[in-house]
Every structure is written in structure tokens, then in C-alpha cells.
Structure 1
Amino acid sequence: MITVEALPARAGDCLWVEWDDGTRRRRMLIDGGTVGAAPALAERFARQPVGRRDFELVVCTHLDDDHIGGLLGLLTSPPEGFSTRDVWFNGHHQLLPRDLLGLPKAEKLTALLARAETPWNTATGGEAVVVPTDEAEPLPVTELPGLRLTLLSPTWDGLRALRDDWDAWKAEQRRKAGEEPAAPPDLLGPPRPAVEIPWRRLALDYSPDRAPRNGSSIAFCAEHTGDGSRVLFTGDAHAEVLVTSLRRLAPDGRHRVDLCKVAHHGSAHNTSPELLRALDCDQWLITTDGGHRVRGEEAKYRPGEGSHPSLRAMARLILGARWPTLWFNHRVPSTERYEDGFLQHRLGFRAQYPPRGTQGISLVVGPGTVTHAPPPR
């Protein structure tokens, strides 16, 4: 089995993953949330015995602040006992030409990794973590003790798009003084009564994500080599890239996964109808607190109605399988709308949340099953 803890990382991702390999407990960390969400990661380390803070892998999927921010604090002042055998991050050493990566937090992470001599992309010999362009080539596979990782994203096209668009990114950084622009508002606005929402029409309303940063996102499928349980970790990857890779894995059918972390916090532009047809999955993890931005470094995100998860993406998930389950790591208005029992019965889905008064959710994933993890002893 694989345990996935979606820490309360505000509008970002911070996934603490554990599994057994038959001899011991192993760990992997995927992203760190925003800088403001760093206390959640620190609290999780505080609950972890010092002798069990070694990681097989730390993944920074891409350079957006809501994924990279918390990792800066972790690597700047590592907690006692922390170590990792590898870090996956496509920084300026992997982009061509090599001097174009200038986003401040990405530069900071690059400097931290280099200065501390932390293992960095050792699985790829120090080169980019990337899917081969030639579809006749097999997808890259990394074997960890007890866990097999199959890379699905990014492609070289995604990394080149980030490179080629870099002048625009730098101009944006000058305008925003190092902050990212606000996420576009949900076109339908704040939550409204369920009866007003045209779910079936919304499910068909899809346009792809074209943001270069998201196109550079590392995504992979993790499979437990013992029981075969599978989790798809998507980062903020483009749906079209994921579909192409999934077709390489299952050219004649749908690729089975027991749990899928929904890409880009449930954005309308990263969960396509074609992606759902490429997957055999009915358990979906949505990581967001709504993502509403306010000014100021300490309050960069404000929980609330926000733009995530999008009604369009949720409509596709709900209507794309028989009785799917939506797992949320935050209770906010934009996620609690799915708690409505009448809506669940009418559309045929289930919604699961952290216990009231808490944030963050911990799941145990087995072959064909996903359940709440028991509370720590």
C-alpha cells in the first residue's frame, strides 16, 4: 500500500508519501506548497521521529511559488535528521541555453542544491527529468526500493516553451515584484445553489492550459512493486502531455490508477475529457484552499471561494465515472459545495474531507481501494 498525505499547503501542493518495501518504511516528498504554508511541513516533521526523516526522493515538480516555496525553507534550514537520496528539479543546469532561468525562487533552490551538494537529478545523470520525444522509446522508469516511478511529463517541448517564453516571465516578475499574477477567476464566480449549475454543459466546456510553467511540470505514476497499487502524481502538468504518455503505457486501453492527484488544483484547463478517457480511475485528490490571492508576502493566498477547484473540472470528474470519490485536503466554500448530499445523490458521486476543525488529509491507497489513514498513535 501507499500512504499519501496531502498537507494543508494552502493553494499549493505538499504531498508526503510513504510505503513499505518489505523491510522498512520509505518516504518521498512532492513539492512544498507556498512559503506561507511552510509551517504545515514543519509541523509534519515535528511529528516524525528524527531517525525516520530520510527520504528516497524529493520532487519539485516545477517553479511556481505554490510548489517551490515551502521547499526553500526545508533546504535552507533542514530539520534534524533530514536527508534525501535524490532531488528532482529541472533548473537552469537542465534548460538550454543554460543561463535563462531567472525566477527568484527557482534561482534560490538552484543555489541551495548546488551549495549543499545535495543529490540532484541523479536518476538522470544530472540532466533534465524529461520524457523522450520519440514515442517509440519507452517512458523513463526509476526504481526506488518498493516503488516504481514512470515519468509522464514534461516533454522537451514543455521545457523549451518555458525557455522561449522567459523574457515575458522576467518582464512579469518586474511588474509583480517577484509575485505571480492572480489566478484567473472562475468564470461562474462564487459558489451558487447547486440547482443553478449546468453540470453536464460545463463538463463539455474545455480549453487547454498553455502556461509554460505548467508545461514544464514533472508528473509520474508511482506503482508499489509488492501489491501493485498505483498513484498518479500530476503536478500542474498539461493534460495533453499526460494523455500522450498514458497512451504509450496503455495503447489499447485505459491505464489503471487507484488514486489520481488532480492536476493544477482542479483548474478547468488541466483535466480534459480525453485525459479521463485515458485513465481507469474513480478516486480523485484535489489539493487547494481556493487559491484567492491578496497583497503581501505573509498573506499571499487567502482561503475562500477563489478559482479552484473549477466547476468545469469537477463536472468532468463527477460525470466521467460511476460514483467517483472526491478527496479534498481543505474545507473552504469552493470545496464544501460538494458536501451537499442531494447533489451527490443526483449526480452520483461522493465527497470526503478532513475532520472538521482540521486541514490536510491522509489516505491509504491499495489495489482498488482508497481509505482515510488511521490517526497517528
Structure 2
Amino acid sequence: MTDLTLRAVKAKHGDSLLLFAGGATVLIDGGPSGVYRRFLRDQLRALPANGGEPPVIDLMMVSHIDADHIDGILDLTDELIEARNEERDPIVDIRRAWHNSFADTIADLTGSSPASRRGEAASLASALEEIRFDGFDPHDSKLVLASVGQGRQLRLDLKALNIDVNQRFDGRMALQGNASTPWTCGDLSLDLIGPAQEQIDDLRKKWARELKKILEKEADAEPAARSMDTSVSNLASLVVIAKANGKTALLTGDARGVMILKWLEETGRLAPGGSVHFDIVKLPHHGSDRNVTPEFFERVKADHYLMCGDGKHGNPEPHTFRMLFEARPELNYTVHMTYGPEELKSHREFRKENLGPVLDEVLQGGGRRDILRFPGPGETFIDISI
């Protein structure tokens, strides 16, 4: 009997996940542009109807506001608004959403229309590339809220659709500690462990110090709007632990491994110096080796690891596989991928960096290739059922 299924849609270089457990359905992210129409929409249409009514999404969670996570969700809300305006049945009925829009919670966007608010948000976001947090490597900790405009638009769409946002957190940001108990639906529970208030407070202080300079630097919002898809906002990522009938999954968005370890310790899941086991771990940031360390793999163990990425930006990176294999040489686990090794090697950015031979070397010998699992020809998703 399956207690929990995590479905990973082939979302190119992004994330698009469906979580099924005990009658509950959760949609997590929608991938970059094109993924909704090509892959995700069919998955939603195939969900079972609700007594003659549209299928129910009990919770829609946007892990953070990067384009490779939020674009497909905006395509979905566009379709839902169109169906409402044309008095048609929606493709799905979304009951509630978790989504942190920094344009709402940090910036004061005062434009008189949605278009001007989006433009101002993009202008502010572009200059945030200069903001870093003390104590982190500058390359890893650059806070680029490049998709602030998209986050703002999603909040407007959800309001237009009368979908409750962060109700579980009393309308506040979805943060560690802002809900006293996990969210439950049927047999499924979701416990948010990150981000924490500490990181958001740091961001607000930085914002206050930098806002004037940002506005002076970015008077014209249009160039910022055109380029805002290219950056990441890892600190914003929602990190949750899903549990159903004793089975567990750690869903990490694009969070940094060092912060995931910190949040696991703060919430009592991980003893200092100890390790913790999950049935499933979705690796952060599409298998980037900048978001995990050997310590992460030594301390956060799983029977099933999921890497989402098609080779763009070199993700999932060969060194991530190497760290995992060296930390857990027994190979008593499965690595699930949304794109197989040959597809990764065919991506032009993977070829440009000459990563194919590196990946082949890492996967050589010892049964390493045998533990890889990925969609077959014509398949558009992969299920991890436990």
C-alpha cells in the first residue's frame, strides 16, 4: 500500500511537484515558462473529479518567487481567471495557498495600478543583486529577488480568485514558528521549518538601508523587468516536512543546505552533530553543488533522493552526485531524476562546460548508474511512491 507519492513533472530547469497522500493533493511550484502548457496542465486535468466538480488542490505552495518555480503557477492562475470570467468550470479548485511575496511584506509598492506596481517591483528587485548577508559566501548568499514583480502578480491573482493565502499563518508570512501545529489534510501533514524570522529580519534591515540607493539606481523599470528571470532568491524558499502514515519527505525548494541543517536543528529534528533520516529528500536548487555539502549528505539521509533539472546552468551538477556517493558509498538508496544522464549531457550548457565526461566519470563503476531512475521515452513525470 502506498502511503505517500511525490510526482516530479519534467519541468525543464525548474521545479513542479505534486504530492499525494491519504486523499490530499498538494501542488508545489509550476516550473518555468512553457512547462504548464506542455506538461503540468495535463497532470491537473488527469486528477480525479470531486463528485462531478473540478479536481481539488487542497494546498498550492509556491516555494519561492524565482521564475523557474512561479511561471507555471501564473499560467495556471491566468487560466483560472479566464474560466471565471467566461463562466466556465475551472481546471482545478484550489482551496488555499502558501506564498511569500516580498513585494507585499517588505516593500511599500505605491503604484496606482497593477501594471505600475509590477514595474516598481521589478525595478526594486533588479538592484537587490548587490545585497548580501554577512557570514555567507558572497556568491552563494547573494539575494536577488528578481521575480518580485511575478510574486506580486501572483498575490493579485490569488486575491482575484478568492483563494486564501497563508491562512494557516494568520495571514502573515509563511515562516518557521508562525503556525503552532503542522497543517493537516486527511492523512497528510506539512510542517514548515524554514525560512525563519531571523533571516527575514536581516532582509528587512538590508532593504531599509538600501532602498534609497536602489530607487536612484533603477529609475527605468523596463530593463529590470526584462532581465529579472535570471537570478535566484534562495532565502525565500519554503522548506517543509511532509508526513503521512509514518512516511516522511523533506522538500527544500532552492534553500541552502547550511540553512536547512540549521532549521532542522532549531525545530528539534536534528541533534547537534547527529543525523536524520527521511524516506524522500528533494535536493535543493536542482542539484546545484553550491547548495549542498558533504556534511549535508552525511547528516540528512534518505532512501530516495530527487534531483529536478535538465542540464541548464549545469544542474544537476556532477559534483553533487560525487558528494552523495562519497558520503553514502553503500548505495542503498535510489536517485530519481526528471531528466536522465544522456538528456543532461545533450543540453547545450552542459556541453559548453564539458560536464558530460565529468558526469560519466562520477557515475562509473560500483553500481552507481544502477541506482538512477528517470522518465522513459515519452514519459513526462516520475513518481516516488512509498
For 2:234, the equivalent position in structure 1 comes to 214
Q: Deviations over 1:204-240 (max 9, x none)?
A: xxxxxxx6x111100111011x2x1111110001212
For 1:50, the equivalent position in structure 2 comes to 49
1:264 aligns with 2:250: no
Q: Deviations over 1:106-155 (max 9, x none)?
A: 1210111122221110110100111249xxxx986222321121212112
**Cα displacement (A) at 1:159:** 3.0
SS of residue paired to 2:151: helix
| Distance in 2 between residues matched to 1:360 and 1:218, nearest whole Å | 23
For 2:339, the equivalent position in structure 1 comes to 330
Alpha carbons 2:24, 2:185 under 8 Å: kept: no
The two structures, once aligned, show a CA RMSD in angstroms of 3.1
Identify the match of residue 18 of structure 1 among 20, 24, 32: 20
1:143 aligns with 2:216: no
SS of residue paired to 1:265: helix
Alpha carbons 1:50, 1:80 under 8 Å: kept: no
| Distance in 2 between residues matched to 1:251 and 1:28, nearest whole Å | 29
For 1:302, the equivalent position in structure 2 comes to none
Alpha carbons 2:175, 2:192 under 8 Å: kept: yes
**Cα displacement (A) at 1:241:** 1.6
| Distance in 2 between residues matched to 1:310 and 1:161, nearest whole Å | 30
**Cα displacement (A) at 1:94:** 5.8
Identify the match of residue 250 of structure 2 among 215, 218, 232: 232
Mapping for residues 80-119 of structure 1, pairs under 5 Å:
80=90, 82-92=92-102, 95-99=105-109, 102=122, 103-119=148-164
Identify the match of residue 75 of structure 2 among 73, 76, 79: 73
Compared CA separation, residues 347 and 81, structure 1 to 2 (3 A): closer
Alpha carbons 2:252, 2:282 under 8 Å: kept: yes
For 2:28, the equivalent position in structure 1 comes to 30
| Distance in 2 between residues matched to 1:346 and 1:44, nearest whole Å | 33
**Cα displacement (A) at 1:43:** 1.2
Alpha carbons 1:131, 1:139 under 8 Å: kept: no
For 2:353, the equivalent position in structure 1 comes to none
2:106 partner amino acid:
L
Compared CA separation, residues 11 and 251, structure 1 to 2 (3 A): same
**Cα displacement (A) at 1:279:** 1.4
Structure 2 stretches of 5 or more lacking a match? 81-88, 110-119, 123-147, 347-355
2:100 partner amino acid:
N
| Distance in 2 between residues matched to 1:249 and 1:139, nearest whole Å | 16
Alpha carbons 1:121, 1:128 under 8 Å: kept: yes
Identify the match of residue 288 of structure 1 among 309, 324, 333: 309
Relative to its length, the structure with more helix (as a share) is: 2
| Distance in 2 between residues matched to 1:356 and 1:173, nearest whole Å | 43
For 1:187, the equivalent position in structure 2 comes to none
Identify the match of residue 158 of structure 1 among 186, 196, 199: 199
For 2:243, the equivalent position in structure 1 comes to 223
| Distance in 1 between residues matched to 2:221 and 2:249, nearest whole Å | 34
SS of residue paired to 1:354: coil
| Distance in 2 between residues matched to 1:107 and 1:93, nearest whole Å | 6
| Distance in 2 between residues matched to 1:269 and 1:140, nearest whole Å | 32
**Cα displacement (A) at 1:273:** 2.3
Alpha carbons 1:222, 1:231 under 8 Å: kept: yes
| Distance in 2 between residues matched to 1:222 and 1:263, nearest whole Å | 16
Paired residues in the alignment total: 313
Compared CA separation, residues 181 and 108, structure 1 to 2 (3 A): closer
| Distance in 2 between residues matched to 1:139 and 1:154, nearest whole Å | 15
Compared CA separation, residues 360 and 162, structure 1 to 2 (3 A): farther
For 2:168, the equivalent position in structure 1 comes to 123
Identify the match of residue 178 of structure 1 among 223, 226, 230: 226
| Distance in 1 between residues matched to 2:73 and 2:223, nearest whole Å | 25
SS of residue paired to 1:179: helix
| Distance in 2 between residues matched to 1:36 and 1:15, nearest whole Å | 15
Compared CA separation, residues 148 and 345, structure 1 to 2 (3 A): same
Alpha carbons 2:5, 2:383 under 8 Å: kept: yes
Query: Identity of counterpart residues, as a percentage?
Result: 22
Alpha carbons 1:326, 1:350 under 8 Å: kept: yes
Structure 1 stretches of 5 or more lacking a match? 184-210, 292-305, 366-377
Compared CA separation, residues 347 and 13, structure 1 to 2 (3 A): closer
TM-score, length of structure 1 as denominator length: 0.74
Q: Deviations over 1:183-220 (max 9, x none)?
A: 7xxxxxxxxxxxxxxxxxxxxxxxxxxx6x11110011
| Distance in 2 between residues matched to 1:104 and 1:285, nearest whole Å | 29
For 1:193, the equivalent position in structure 2 comes to none
Compared CA separation, residues 234 and 62, structure 1 to 2 (3 A): same
**Cα displacement (A) at 1:9:** 1.1
For 1:356, the equivalent position in structure 2 comes to 377
TM-score, length of structure 2 as denominator length: 0.72
1:318 aligns with 2:316: no
Compared CA separation, residues 348 and 107, structure 1 to 2 (3 A): closer
1:179 partner amino acid:
S
| Distance in 2 between residues matched to 1:276 and 1:59, nearest whole Å | 26
SS of residue paired to 1:112: helix
